Amino acid sequence: MIDNEKKWLVIENEQDEKWEENVKKKTLDKYPYKSLETNYGKLKPFLIKYTKFLQIGYFLDDEHGMPSGIFEINGKPYRLPDFKPETTIDMSIFKPFWKKLTENFKLHNYTSIKISYYQNKPVWFEIKQYNPNDRRDEIRTGIIIPEYE
């Protein structure tokens, strides 16, 4: 399902898969995307109402990506010092995307999340959860267009 503003897509049907394939050719297959393997427990703190932007980038000279955020409390922005964002996502877009991506998923702190990102190109999210009923992983994929800061 693609949102009305065409800012995000959650793959649900064949039409979505065709759109995904087109975006993949223009992004994942073209640019040197980086991957961040994390879990829901590490992303959950950024889903609070005070988070204005979700950022993915690097702390100091660390080569491993991590999520961070820009918080706004009483009109003042707060961010992690020495954090170098590579991608910035507006939470007003991310929250409806996340809600659709995780619809009918039972999220646990250890639910696996893979984020593929490169500068301000579309960000790919893949969540994986084990389904005990059919004894296999259920994987859901979504794409979101980042904000340019």
Contact 2, 15 (CB under 8 A): no
Give the tokens for residue 85.
């964002």
- Do the domain assignments include residue 39? yes
Span 40-51, mean pLDDT?
87
- Do the domain assignments include residue 2? no
pLDDT digits (tens, 9 = 90+) for 63-94: 888 999 888 888 888 888 889 999 999 999 99
- Do the domain assignments include residue 70? yes
- Give pLDDT, residue 149: 46
Question: What is the C-alpha separation between 108 and 75, in angstroms, rounded?
Answer: 32
Domain holding 94, by residue range, is 8-144
- Do the domain assignments include residue 92? yes
Give the tokens for residue 56.
């993915």
What dihedral angle (degrees, nearest 10) is formed by the CA atoms of 85, 98, 143, 12?
Answer: 170
Among the listed residues 45, 90, 48, the one whose alpha carbon sits nearest the alpha carbon of residue 68: 45
pTM, to two decimals: 0.87
148 pLDDT more than 60 = no
- Give pLDDT, residue 147: 67
Q: What is the total count of domains within the chain? A: 1
35 pLDDT more than 70 = yes
CA 130 and chain centroid, separation: 20
Contact 89, 43 (CB under 8 A): no
Among the listed residues 92, 45, 48, the one whose alpha carbon sits nearest the alpha carbon of residue 67: 45
Q: Which residue has the higher pLDDT, 62 or 9?
A: 9
pLDDT digits (tens, 9 = 90+) for 105-125: 888 888 999 999 999 899 999
- Do the domain assignments include residue 1? no
- Give pLDDT, residue 51: 87
- Give pLDDT, residue 75: 84
Residue with tokens 């000279």: 61
| β-bridge partners, 56 | 67, 87
